[in-house]
Amino acid sequence: MKRTSRDIRTANRYEVLRQIIAESPTSRQELAAATGLSLATVATLVGELLDLRMITEVGFEDSAGGRPRGLVAVNASGGALIGVDIAETYVHVELFDLALNVLARADEDMRPGESLPEQVVSHVAAAVGSVVAQAGIEGARVLGVGVSVPGQVNRDTGISEYAPNWDWHDVPLLDLLSEVIAYPLYLDNPLRAGAVAEMWFGAARGRGDAVVVNLGTGVGAGLALGGGLYRGVSNSAGEWGHTTLVLDGRLCRCGNHGCVEAYVGAPGIMLNLRELSPQSPLLHPEDQTATIDALARGVSAGDPVAVKVVRETARYVGAGIANLVNVLNPEIVVLSSWVARSLGEPLLHEVREAVGRHALPRPMAATRIVLSPIPTDPACLGAATFALEGALQSVGQRKAPSAKRAAPARAGRTAPPS
Amino acid sequence: MKRTSRDIRTANRYEVLRQIIAESPTSRQELAAATGLSLATVATLVGELLDLRMITEVGFEDSAGGRPRGLVAVNASGGALIGVDIAETYVHVELFDLALNVLARADEDMRPGESLPEQVVSHVAAAVGSVVAQAGIEGARVLGVGVSVPGQVNRDTGISEYAPNWDWHDVPLLDLLSEVIAYPLYLDNPLRAGAVAEMWFGAARGRGDAVVVNLGTGVGAGLALGGGLYRGVSNSAGEWGHTTLVLDGRLCRCGNHGCVEAYVGAPGIMLNLRELSPQSPLLHPEDQTATIDALARGVSAGDPVAVKVVRETARYVGAGIANLVNVLNPEIVVLSSWVARSLGEPLLHEVREAVGRHALPRPMAATRIVLSPIPTDPACLGAATFALEGALQSVGQRKAPSAKRAAPARAGRTAPPS
């Protein structure tokens, strides 16, 4: 549990870079004020980031009579980061500069039933190869690839320990990916990627305690508590989707009964629709995306079945979020991922009403519920920040970002290290 | 959200004192290692605590060839702290020395229906007067009184905002108490008091993420996350008792349906018993304590009704704890408060089984579920530590603990500041 001084130094370096990315240009004095670190510490860390070419000096600002202050900014072209969002229905890959601007994007659809690790890996490899080619950058400039995969992951071993929607158990995903991708790889799950994206760039920025609720095929809650990502003791916190909301209720893919996910994951929403109107034309039995999109269009058009299904779904989402509000007393709850994006404001409206009916007045009064304001894929963005964090952690092992990679090159990879 | 350097200094002083209380005698070097603070900072804080007479020099230890190291220990007789645990069925008050040893104790029973603020305040005043008299100490040596009261409290204003089991709304409890108690008063609730007690002296000591589940008339979960007490954005985190476990289920006192508390609070357990066996001699309709004690004796004696009621109750407790395990991935879950103490090992055994059926394998494998090992009342102990924290916070306003109190003396109090 105790952190070494090296851990603390890495965390501080990351915190300073994160602040520079959020507020470029900025001065060492502003960084010290924003991070709570001493000016001397900030100056040392800024020096290291300058040496790594991750940031650059960009001029001076007056300081009310004192010496002019040197300004630094992120060196956007100092390297590239790749974020991979693996979901049950798609693979999204985005390539970012160091200011976390999207330079290129590739999407791959996954057909229903396409869930073998080898199939997933080949989609990821194709999309990673595509974004590097599109961006036209040298492979050597890619500092790392962050990979978000649903379910419970061991980020140290790179193993996907359990992905209920694919029935994956102990899949050595990072090993499989490293056979076809030559960049340093960092594995985590969409709950944590989504939470970090909101903390850095989204609705949780500057908030003390935030809950980022992912609504997709699977559902869960990324937790940003006390200004930092909360992982739990074995990096599996946030499994809100598998909390019991209806004791002895509907069977969930995890084997339990009455889980939140069984009612509000995309397959659960399809079941809500089927129970209400078995022959509904909104239902595309084998296609989650088409069904959710049809529901969204139906709500816009005032289709009573669509309105009722979204209201019923929101009742479960709202009762489940009220549980999080009562336990965690967050400042903000963010609805994210593709189902939330597709159902949008009508879902948000119903969810707010439902949370209000279930949460206690005091925590309810302290919280806001919003849709994710991140225009691109938050899980890609968050995964890319894990790669950035990883790149900073490996400073010391290698002198500059263009030096030898963490993973040795192998034949047959889509993106050799130049 | 940003802490001032004064906040940080107070927090560090508290952390050092906490470590000295936990490990007396100890050296400045050991304190630096345990707290992660620099030796210079520790030396300054130790100096301040010596000046305040909260700790004393107690000799030297050899340091393997180096200079002998000075040892400090808590100055147990340097002051007294009072912890008050107000529950629906009792008021417990304990007086502690600075090493947090219990010097005196007074209990008051609350009759069913005895729930007016004035009635509660008069029980507290009587018990506080009793422990000071028993301990035979000067009032001036009492550094403060921590008060734990059920429900949602605003610790800054001292208002009990909502106590569902008494139907209290916005009761100015600290003002009422300060009319009859002359010591500085600090208000919080049993969830946080219980969590701090376990962190300092109990099963959560040295654990990164811990959940302390209070099972009493009301139920809730104190959260000790990342080594510190987690309060949420408006100090109302931990309201696990009012999370929905059975959507549209049993009516709860909070007005919602299907809350955990409706099934596992003492009145909920009585209802479990009544539903199973309406005429059971175990049931004392107006007496929670007698009914829970009868159930405990019944389980020991192998009474099938008692065994079944405890098993059924444990099913709800276990499903509810599994929700906390899945969301928070804690290292330890501690069962505390009077119902857990009374039902003891048989309840623990059934709860472990039930959590195992509901929690996901990965977080389940990382957690232990135990009964509170604290032999006295954890809520009194935790409340006393809030008083200690408050006393350290007011350092700077007053030079030494025997100086002028935070609350001015008034006539008619049970314990004038001598």
Co-location of A250 and A333 in the same domain: yes
Whether residue B245 and residue A244 make contact (CB cut-off 8 A), yes or no, is yes
Residue B403 belongs to a domain? no
Q: What is the pLDDT of residues B104-120, one digit of tens each?
A: 999 999 988 888 999 99
In a mutagenesis test of the A interface, which of B326, B331, B333 is the best target, namely the one with the most A β-carbons within 10 Å?
B326
pLDDT of residue B413: 43
A386 phi/psi in degrees, rounded to 5: -65, -35
Whether residue B239 and residue A328 make contact (CB cut-off 8 A), yes or no, is no
- The answer to whether B366 contacts chain A (CB < 8 Å) is yes
Element (H, E) at A394: none
Contacts 24+ apart (CB under 8 A), B397-406: B400/B51, B400/B52, B400/B53, B401/B52, B401/B53, B401/B54, B401/B78, B401/B79, B401/B141, B401/B143, B402/B140, B402/B141, B405/B182, B405/B183, B405/B184, B406/B184
Measured between beta carbons, which residues in chain B are less than 8 angstroms from residue A328?
232, 237
pLDDT of residue B207: 86
Whether residue A237 and residue B327 make contact (CB cut-off 8 A), yes or no, is yes
**pLDDT of B403 over the 70 cut:** no
Residue B401 belongs to a domain? no
Examine the fold and report which residue of B48, B74, B100 is the final residue of a domain before the chain moves on.
B74
Whether residue B322 and residue A152 make contact (CB cut-off 8 A), yes or no, is no
Element (H, E) at B117: helix B117-135
* pLDDT (average), residues B306-333: 98
A340 phi/psi in degrees, rounded to 5: -65, -40
- The answer to whether A239 contacts chain B (CB < 8 Å) is yes
* pLDDT (average), residues B384-410: 62
Residue B236 belongs to a domain? yes
Element (H, E) at B234: none
pLDDT of residue A8: 78
Whether residue B319 and residue A244 make contact (CB cut-off 8 A), yes or no, is yes
Whether residue B244 and residue A324 make contact (CB cut-off 8 A), yes or no, is no
Who contacts B71 (Cβ-Cβ below 8 Å, separation ≥6)?
A: B25, B26, B27, B57, B58, B59, B60, B61
- The answer to whether A12 contacts chain B (CB < 8 Å) is no
Co-location of B131 and B116 in the same domain: yes
| Residue A143's pLDDT band (cuts 50, 70, 90) | very high
In a mutagenesis test of the A interface, which of B4, B6, B161, B233 is the best target, namely the one with the most A β-carbons within 10 Å?
B233
State how far residue A360 is from chain B, nearest Cα, in angstroms.
8
Examine the fold and report which residue of A74, A94, A118 is the final residue of a domain before the chain moves on.
A74
pLDDT of residue A193: 97
Measured between beta carbons, which residues in chain B are less than 8 angstroms from residue A153?
none
Nearest to A327 by CA among A250, A225, A233: A225
Nearest to A232 among B239, B243, B363 (CB): B363
Buried-exposed string B197-232: b where 16+ CB fall within 10 A, e elsewhere: bbbbbbbbeebbbbbbbbbbbbbbbbbbbeeebbbb
Residue B400 belongs to a domain? no
Element (H, E) at B387: helix B378-393
Residue B200 belongs to a domain? no
ipTM of the complex: 0.89
* CB interface of A with B, residues 197-226, below 8 Å: 206, 208-209, 221, 223, 225-226
**pLDDT of B406 over the 50 cut:** no
- Number of compact structural domains in chain B: 3
Q: What is the pLDDT of residues B62-102, one digit of tens each?
A: 777 777 889 999 999 999 999 999 998 899 999 999 999 99
* CB interface of A with B, residues 90-149, below 8 Å: none
Q: To the nearest whole number, what is the mean pLDDT of chain B?
A: 91
**N- to C-terminal Cα separation, chain A:** 39
Which CATH number characterizes residue B95's domain?
3.30.420.40
Whether residue B162 and residue A209 make contact (CB cut-off 8 A), yes or no, is no
Measured between beta carbons, which residues in chain B are less than 8 angstroms from residue A254?
360
pLDDT of residue A36: 84
pLDDT of residue A301: 98
Measured between beta carbons, which residues in chain A are less than 8 angstroms from residue B162?
360-362
pLDDT of residue B412: 39
State how far residue A240 is from chain B, nearest Cα, in angstroms.
5
State how far residue A162 is from chain B, nearest Cα, in angstroms.
8
- Closest residue in B to A248 (Cα) is B246
What is the 3 state secondary structure string of B277-309?
CCCCCCCCCCCHHHHHHHHHHHHHCCCHHHHHH
Co-location of A124 and A216 in the same domain: no
Whether residue B254 and residue A162 make contact (CB cut-off 8 A), yes or no, is no
Co-location of B214 and B302 in the same domain: yes
Co-location of A107 and A173 in the same domain: yes
| Residue A3's pLDDT band (cuts 50, 70, 90) | low
**pLDDT of A111 over the 90 cut:** no
Q: How far apart are CA B255 and CA B361, in angstroms?
A: 34
**pLDDT of A165 over the 90 cut:** no
pLDDT of residue B24: 86
Contacts 24+ apart (CB under 8 A), A7-11: A9/A45, A10/A392, A10/A393, A10/A395
pLDDT of residue A175: 96
**pLDDT of B398 over the 90 cut:** no
Whether residue B239 and residue A326 make contact (CB cut-off 8 A), yes or no, is yes
Whether residue A328 and residue B363 make contact (CB cut-off 8 A), yes or no, is no
pLDDT of residue B4: 65
Residue A31 belongs to a domain? yes
Q: What is the pLDDT of residues B176-235, one digit of tens each?
A: 999 999 999 999 999 999 999 999 889 998 888 999 999 999 999 999 998 889 999 999
Whether residue A232 and residue B209 make contact (CB cut-off 8 A), yes or no, is yes
Whether residue B237 and residue A363 make contact (CB cut-off 8 A), yes or no, is yes
pLDDT of residue B418: 37
- Is B415:B183 a contact under the CB 8 Å cutoff? yes
Q: How far apart are CA B16 and CA B42, in angstroms?
A: 7
Higher-pLDDT residue of A418, A396: A396
> Which residue range is the domain that position A54 belongs to?
5-74
**pLDDT of A19 over the 60 cut:** yes
* pLDDT (average), residues B312-332: 98
> In this structure, what is the dihedral angle of CA atoms A248, A251, A255, A257, given to the nearest 10 degrees?
-20
- The answer to whether B367 contacts chain A (CB < 8 Å) is yes
**pLDDT of B138 over the 70 cut:** yes
State how far residue A167 is from chain B, nearest Cα, in angstroms.
14
Lookup: tokens for B398: 């007053």
* pLDDT (average), residues B306-317: 98
B85 phi/psi in degrees, rounded to 5: -110, 100
Nearest to A327 by CA among B158, B330, B255: B330
A191 phi/psi in degrees, rounded to 5: -65, -45
Lookup: tokens for B90: 């009792």
Co-location of B255 and B319 in the same domain: yes
Q: How far apart are CA B96 and CA B376, in angstroms?
A: 12
Cis, peptide link before residue B25, omega less than 30° from 0 = yes
Lookup: tokens for B25: 């005698």
- Is A118:A366 a contact under the CB 8 Å cutoff? no
pLDDT of residue B206: 84
Query: Cα Rg for chain B, rounded, in angstroms?
Result: 22
Q: How far apart are CA B408 and CA A74, in angstroms?
A: 55
Whether residue B330 and residue A240 make contact (CB cut-off 8 A), yes or no, is no
Q: What is the pLDDT of residues A214-272, one digit of tens each?
A: 999 999 999 999 888 999 999 999 999 999 999 999 999 999 999 999 999 999 999 99
pLDDT of residue B396: 53
Measured between beta carbons, which residues in chain B are less than 8 angstroms from residue A329?
231-239
- The answer to whether B309 contacts chain A (CB < 8 Å) is no
- The answer to whether B316 contacts chain A (CB < 8 Å) is yes
DSSP state, A282?
T
Residue B118 belongs to a domain? yes
In a mutagenesis test of the A interface, which of B167, B360, B368 is the best target, namely the one with the most A β-carbons within 10 Å?
B360
Co-location of A24 and A141 in the same domain: no
Co-location of B333 and B381 in the same domain: no
For A269-283, A308-322, B362-376, B389-403, which range has the lowest pLDDT when averaged over its residues? Answer: B389-403
**Residue B63 in 3-state DSSP?**
coil
Element (H, E) at B163: strand B159-163
Sheet hosting strand B219-225, strand order edge to edge:
B228-230, B219-225, B210-215, B332-336, B368-371
Co-location of B165 and B42 in the same domain: no
Which CATH number characterizes residue B18's domain?
1.10.10.10
- The answer to whether B239 contacts chain A (CB < 8 Å) is yes
**pLDDT of B404 over the 60 cut:** no
Co-location of A86 and A176 in the same domain: yes
Nearest to B145 by CA among B158, B164, B162: B158
Co-location of B218 and B158 in the same domain: no
Return the bridge partners of B168, or none: B163
pLDDT of residue A416: 40
State how far residue A257 is from chain B, nearest Cα, in angstroms.
9
- The answer to whether B327 contacts chain A (CB < 8 Å) is yes
Whether residue B363 and residue A234 make contact (CB cut-off 8 A), yes or no, is yes
Residue A307 belongs to a domain? yes
| Residue A394's pLDDT band (cuts 50, 70, 90) | confident
- Closest residue in B to A363 (Cα) is B236
| Residue A404's pLDDT band (cuts 50, 70, 90) | very low
**Which residue shows structure tokens 């999309």?**
A127
pLDDT of residue B410: 37
* pLDDT (average), residues A266-288: 96
Co-location of A167 and A212 in the same domain: no
**pLDDT of B411 over the 60 cut:** no
Q: How far apart are CA B130 and CA B107, in angstroms?
A: 9
Measured between beta carbons, which residues in chain A are less than 8 angstroms from residue B363?
232, 234, 236-237, 239
Measured between beta carbons, which residues in chain A are less than 8 angstroms from residue B152?
360, 362
Whether residue B234 and residue A323 make contact (CB cut-off 8 A), yes or no, is no
Q: To the nearest whole number, what is the mean pLDDT of chain A?
A: 91
State how far residue B210 is from chain A, nearest Cα, in angstroms.
9
Nearest to A237 among B236, B249, B328 (CB): B328
Measured between beta carbons, which residues in chain B are less than 8 angstroms from residue A320?
244
**pLDDT of A283 over the 90 cut:** yes
